[in-house]
Amino acid sequence: MKNILVMGAAGQIGSELVPAMRKIYGNSNVISSDIRTDVSEVLKEGPFEIVDCLDTKKIKDVITKYNIDTVYNLVALLSAVGEQNPQLSWKINVGGLMNLLELSRELKFALFTPSSIGAFGLSTPHDNTPQDTIQRPNSMYGVTKVSGELLCDYYHQKYGIDTRGVRYPGIISNVTPPGGGTTDYAVDIYYKAIQEKKFTCNLKPGTYLDMMYMPDCIRAGIEIMEANPAKLIHRNAFNVAAMSFEPEMIAAEIKKHIPEFTMDYDIDPIRQAIAESWPNKMDDTVAFEEWGWKHEYNLPKMTEDMLNVLSEKLKK
Ligand code: SER
């Protein structure tokens, strides 16, 4: 049985990954942790610890206390907020990861670190972006993600650490909102569609990006760490895809359920520049070949679920 520590558990992914993993591995085998103290009750249904990713001693104490063999490192500043404070972005995204990699040499745990579509840049082929291709991002977030991929592969090759990761698309979910990302509009649009029947989009029409619904995101994070290591040629990090759309397409899908819904635009130049440097659509066949990755949710199926779940949630 695994003993798992999730760092940054109060964020968008952690707040749903923790309960999902507790169902599989048992409540007391999944330790949630965050720098924040005001976390949801769900995270406290099993062990919860306050951990700062820059506090190596505290991380070591928690890993030792619970006999942790697998760490999910979900701590990160996202892309748009990273451009407001690039130095802090580097410190958290790479500094936090380096602390874990160094601890893994001594304590021998496996490490999952998500990478992102942000690990690509303008010179990357934008359509059917291959697994192995040019990675010259121009956002600090992207710089930290490419650095993270390289560091994780390095620690695997040099020290035999079991590091694995996926390049997540923009993640769409209905429990905890994302904060400071470029793909956040695709979450906000559902809330606004229900609450106000209208939405102002901060990316231009025609801006295609990879997106993924949270159930697929969680399954990818669990399945990659369960994958047979003998079959992994790649490790950090696998392209995983589910759907690709531009703002008009998600708006049209919402209109099928809420006919009076309207959308206009007020472009955020920072987010627009970042979005244009990212792939339109990644090719994830290598993830399928090496560990069987397959998405379940497309845009229509996700939209139906998002609107159902959020309509109930926002009534309360
Ligand atoms: N969703 C992230 C962002 O927009 C990308 O990984 O920053």
Total tally of structural domains belonging to the chain:
2
Which of the residues 141, 185, 190, 208 is marked catalytic? 141
CA distance readout (Å), 154 to 102, 148, 150, 163: 12, 10, 6, 9
In a domain, 105, yes or no: yes
Top mutation candidate among 13, 77, 78 for ligand 1, by most atoms within 8 Å of CB: 78
Question: Which tokens is 27 given?
Answer: 């409540």
164 φ, ψ to 5°? -145, 155
Please give the residue range of the domain that contains residue 42. 4-169+214-239
Same domain, 151 and 196: no
As beta bridge partners, residue 262 has: 198
Catalytic site includes residue 141: yes
Give the CA angle between residues 238, 112, 231 to the nearest 5°: 50
Same domain, 266 and 130: no
Same domain, 18 and 88: yes
* Cβ atoms of residues 46 and 92 within 8 Å: no
The SS3 call for residue 147 is helix
In a domain, 289, yes or no: no
Q: Which residue has the tokens 């085998």?
A: 29
66 φ, ψ to 5°? -100, 5
Point out the residues of the chain with pLDDT beneath 70: none
Distance (Å, whole) CA 74 – CA 80: 17
Ligand 1 center–CA 182 separation, angstroms: 5
Same domain, 126 and 260: no
Same domain, 22 and 124: yes
Half-sphere exposure of 224 (CA within 13 A, CB side): 31
Same domain, 192 and 303: yes
Ligand 1 center–CA 61 separation, angstroms: 31
* Cβ atoms of residues 281 and 208 within 8 Å: yes
Give the closest residue (by CA) to ligand 1 atom 1: 170
What is the number of the ligand 1 atom nearest to the C-alpha of 171? Answer: 1
Question: Measured in whole angstroms, how far is the alpha carbon of residue 303 from the centre of its chain?
Answer: 19
The domain that contains 193 carries what CATH number? 3.90.25.10
Same domain, 191 and 249: yes
The domain that contains 24 carries what CATH number? 3.40.50.720
Same domain, 185 and 305: yes
In a domain, 129, yes or no: yes
Top mutation candidate among 93, 139, 141, 212 for ligand 1, by most atoms within 8 Å of CB: 141
Ligand 1 center–CA 1 separation, angstroms: 32
Query: What is residue 316's predicted lDDT score, i.e. its pLDDT?
Result: 73
Distance (Å, whole) CA 134 – CA 121: 8
> From the CB of residue 36, how many other CB atoms can be counted at a distance below 10 Å?
12
Ligand 1 center–CA 279 separation, angstroms: 12
In a domain, 123, yes or no: yes
The β-bridge relationship of strands 115-116 and 4-7 is: unpaired
Query: What is residue 68's predicted lDDT score, i.e. its pLDDT?
Result: 98
In a domain, 286, yes or no: no
Distance (Å, whole) CA 99 – CA 116: 20
In a domain, 291, yes or no: no
Ligand 1 center–CA 138 separation, angstroms: 14
Give the closest residue (by CA) to ligand 1 atom 6: 116
Query: What is residue 1's predicted lDDT score, i.e. its pLDDT?
Result: 72
Same domain, 98 and 140: yes
The SS3 call for residue 129 is strand
Same domain, 162 and 203: no
**Count of helices and strands (H, E) across the chain:** 12, 16
Same domain, 133 and 225: yes
Half-sphere exposure of 36 (CA within 13 A, CB side): 13
Q: At what angle do helices 14-25 and 214-226 cross, to 10 degrees?
A: 50
Ligand 1 center–CA 171 separation, angstroms: 8
Give the closest residue (by CA) to ligand 1 atom 2: 181
What is the number of the ligand 1 atom nearest to the C-alpha of 78? Answer: 7
In a domain, 14, yes or no: yes
What is the number of the ligand 1 atom nearest to the C-alpha of 184? Answer: 4
Ligand 1: lining residues by beta carbon, under 6 Å: 78-79, 116-118, 141, 168, 170, 181-183
The pLDDT tens digits of the residues spanning 200-236 come to: 999 999 999 999 999 999 999 999 999 999 999 999 9
Same domain, 264 and 231: no
